Structure 1
């Protein structure tokens, strides 16, 4: 659904797209739609002015399971933007330092480069398949006869290490032999294209690049960076080859991937990926409320939490991060933070970090009406998934409106009486509801089960009423 010029991505269209997957939360959808549209608007500005326009980062406040992560993920999917989700708590896990905060930017760069490489690989699949067929035919049809060049010399051994070999010389073919060989190749290529040789076995030779990575431990900014000897030495190290026997259709797939890798410009992919990360990247920082200092007198974890907040400041505001591909600026990366803020509030964040998230939206807790809609309305909804799963066993489920409302009502009751986990409660409820049917499905082919109000009550109400059982099951 990505549109290159962004002209069709008006805020109302973005909200409509999000409505297909997320129920309610209109304020949050409007906020992210405006943020996304502002990116398109910035591209239309004069470059000097565009440099000064910073993204308006968003802070989402709301209980778990109401759609915070899903909104950010679907937004990135809509515009084909690099997207990384990190838990703020992972930066406090080890002593007072935790994981290097800048690592999330390096993760974003890697994601962007892989996205660009994937698109490039898709563009060269046709020529790569042609090359793969040629290589398969080379293995199927004996090549030109060779004769030995005598005793190998020192230089010939060196050439052999780099993939060259002049110790074998081709014998001259007669015109008739050459014509027959070319005719055979042409016929085999036609048969390959028609798929008539797919099940025939062939022995092929594939290359294995040496991967000798030495990780570098410790040091600020060096998180997850390492030295790859294969990359450093380049062509000096001979590429390892191995022969494998497989069916022609599998050989074509393997060789097509190998040839596609050769056809793409890796340096260009890296350069484009870094630019994509800087201009279009979205970083979702979840559980930001867990790094709020509780003001318990300055000690223990609070030192770590305040430290993480201050480490986040320059990254969110805009700084240059060193990656193994080069320097990357975070000036125009969109940051979306989220937290439940049950035991704290956004104003408990350090003032500098509060200022880095100028747009704040509150997501509502889900009531039974919204929970019922979540079961049925979104694309590939939970009920649709279960119906499709059991249909593979020729078991058919029919969910009646009364049954859906009853599931939602019980889920709301559980969220009120126990921990509120939002829509995630529905997964637990439906799994318990259909446990017997799922277990017995292979033996009950052809049967149809109607999930109505009484069906739901019979199976779930005993669990909901038993406070000891529901603590573990629901």
Structure 2
């Protein structure tokens, strides 16, 4: 991460998120401080807590996207949870420690993937041998009788046909060269249909324990040799991975690099005494989250995990409540506060075309699969952005998500008729947009429901 300076982190985020410069800078500094702490002597580093961040702003302005892109950039284990899914201790539902368990599961998945990649060549060779064995089974050796074992008599091994070994090797080579890729074979794979997950954490733990006690369930599957090579190579790589090494690395990975994103934290911001009943449970959830954010040791199936240096990012719209409505102790654990602004018409216009995952690029690529070439004129893009901005201001502000709704409505007929259209060139200009949305935008009551 040495090359990830705050400036470079912001430049990376600029490729995916329009605007919100203050939030990008805050996140970049928090990440760089993590790197700085890792270079300090251990006795000083352990005293430095991560600079947790509270993102405040309406939906659809980039809060979640910032957190997700940061995790992708740093290759860190990342989980997104919703504060409303948790209940106070003593109630049926998910306990807050499950967010740490989810983070460790993600860390295990990442480390396992890294470790499996180290065995790629060996796993591929093993897969070739298994496929060859399926296509040309070896002769089973006869079992030795008990008398042979007692008296130590060695069984005379049947000498292998001189040409059999060579022919078997030739079969492996043909599979390797892809000559048999389209042939269908039957393989046995593990049936990974696990126990159903519920919101009750204790029930999940019991189900997992019972599942682990049972022998692996195998199922037969007919696939092409091409698909079998991939499936069996992944299976062989998993068998070659040392799970003890994976567990140790994953726990360290989660503790040192893990990012937990707590969304909708404003929904649990009610304080005792404000309106009675439900607020007591909300404050209870806050008090349960507090020790996790402060630094606690959580028991997982892979071992004990300390949360002292996990980076927590929380987000909320705070339309009704305010950050000051959180309990004071929890407020203090999120020292960096960033307010994200609503998206302007210019921001919405840029979102349509500038980011790597730009919406216009997505929709044109989808329709291109039907041989339909759709292009958007400048005035067409201006019209979409203007309508999105107006609807956001006159109804609920849902940020960039409004663009999805409008584009779906604009391209609805094209998406339906694309396979049958003879004219394969379509230009979406201002007239086209207003033709598709005219009646809806003229009547604000209708736009409330449709856009």
In the alignment, structure 1 residue 383 sits paired with structure 2 residue 366: no
1:229 to partner: Cα distance: 4.9
Match of 1:165 in 2: none
Match of 2:225 in 1: 248
Q: 1:108 aligns with which of 103, 106, 112?
A: 103
Q: Quick one: distance in 1 between partners of 2:414 and 2:302?
A: 52
Q: Quick one: distance in 1 between partners of 2:272 and 2:140?
A: 83
Give secondary structure in 2 for the equivalent of 1:337. Answer: strand
In the alignment, structure 1 residue 415 sits paired with structure 2 residue 392: yes
In the alignment, structure 1 residue 277 sits paired with structure 2 residue 254: yes
Give the paired residue count: 448
1:149 to partner: Cα distance: 4.3
Give secondary structure in 2 for the equivalent of 1:52. Answer: coil
Aligned pair in 2 of structure 1 residues 416, 133: CA closer, same or farther (>3 Å)?
same
Match of 2:279 in 1: 302
Give secondary structure in 2 for the equivalent of 1:39. Answer: helix
In the alignment, structure 1 residue 365 sits paired with structure 2 residue 342: yes
Q: Quick one: distance in 1 between partners of 2:199 and 2:385?
A: 50
1:408 to partner: Cα distance: 0.7
| 1:174-196 deviation per Cα after TM superposition (whole angstroms, max 9, x unaligned) | 6xx2x201110221122111101
Which consecutive residues of structure 1, in runs of 5 or more, have no partner in the other structure? 1-5, 157-167
1:432 to partner: Cα distance: 0.4
1:201 to partner: Cα distance: 3.8
Give secondary structure in 2 for the equivalent of 1:224. Answer: helix
Give secondary structure in 2 for the equivalent of 1:321. Answer: strand
1:433 to partner: Cα distance: 0.6
In the alignment, structure 1 residue 260 sits paired with structure 2 residue 237: yes
Q: Quick one: distance in 1 between partners of 2:326 and 2:60?
A: 23
In the alignment, structure 1 residue 195 sits paired with structure 2 residue 178: yes
In the alignment, structure 1 residue 183 sits paired with structure 2 residue 183: no
In the alignment, structure 1 residue 130 sits paired with structure 2 residue 130: no
Deviates more, 1:94-103 or 1:83-92: 94-103
Q: 1:228 aligns with which of 209, 226, 249?
A: 209
Q: 1:330 aligns with which of 283, 307, 332?
A: 307
Match of 2:372 in 1: 395
Q: Quick one: distance in 2 between partners of 1:341 and 1:212?
A: 38
The answer to whether the 8 A contact 2:26-2:338 is kept is yes
In the alignment, structure 1 residue 117 sits paired with structure 2 residue 112: yes
Q: Quick one: distance in 1 between partners of 2:156 and 2:9?
A: 64
Deviates more, 1:408-417 or 1:123-132: 123-132
Deviates more, 1:16-25 or 1:314-323: 314-323
1:170 to partner: Cα distance: 6.9
Q: Quick one: distance in 2 between partners of 1:145 and 1:270?
A: 38
Q: What TM-score do you get using the length of structure 2 for normalisation?
A: 0.91
Match of 2:326 in 1: 349
Aligned pair in 2 of structure 1 residues 104, 170: CA closer, same or farther (>3 Å)?
farther
Superposed, which structure 2 residues align to 1:304-323 within 5 Å? 304-323=281-300
Superposed, which structure 2 residues align to 1:53-64 within 5 Å? 53-64=48-59
The answer to whether the 8 A contact 2:191-2:219 is kept is no
Q: 1:173 aligns with which of 159, 165, 174?
A: 159
The answer to whether the 8 A contact 1:83-1:111 is kept is yes
Q: 2:317 aligns with which of 340, 352, 365?
A: 340
1:76 to partner: Cα distance: 0.5
In the alignment, structure 1 residue 86 sits paired with structure 2 residue 81: yes
The answer to whether the 8 A contact 2:81-2:99 is kept is yes
Q: Quick one: distance in 2 between partners of 1:406 and 1:99?
A: 45
Deviates more, 1:8-17 or 1:450-459: 450-459
Superposed, which structure 2 residues align to 1:422-437 within 5 Å? 422-437=399-414
The answer to whether the 8 A contact 2:57-2:342 is kept is yes
Q: Quick one: distance in 2 between partners of 1:209 and 1:388?
A: 36
1:448 to partner: Cα distance: 1.2
Q: Quick one: distance in 2 between partners of 1:94 and 1:41?
A: 37
Give secondary structure in 1 for the equivalent of 2:54. Answer: strand
Which consecutive residues of structure 2, in runs of 5 or more, have no partner in the other structure? none
1:224 to partner: Cα distance: 3.5
The answer to whether the 8 A contact 2:271-2:326 is kept is no
Q: Quick one: distance in 1 between partners of 2:357 and 2:450?
A: 25
1:13 to partner: Cα distance: 0.3
1:278 to partner: Cα distance: 0.6
Q: Quick one: distance in 2 between partners of 1:104 and 1:145?
A: 50
The answer to whether the 8 A contact 2:272-2:283 is kept is no
1:56 to partner: Cα distance: 0.6
Q: Quick one: distance in 2 between partners of 1:94 and 1:311?
A: 7
Match of 1:71 in 2: 66
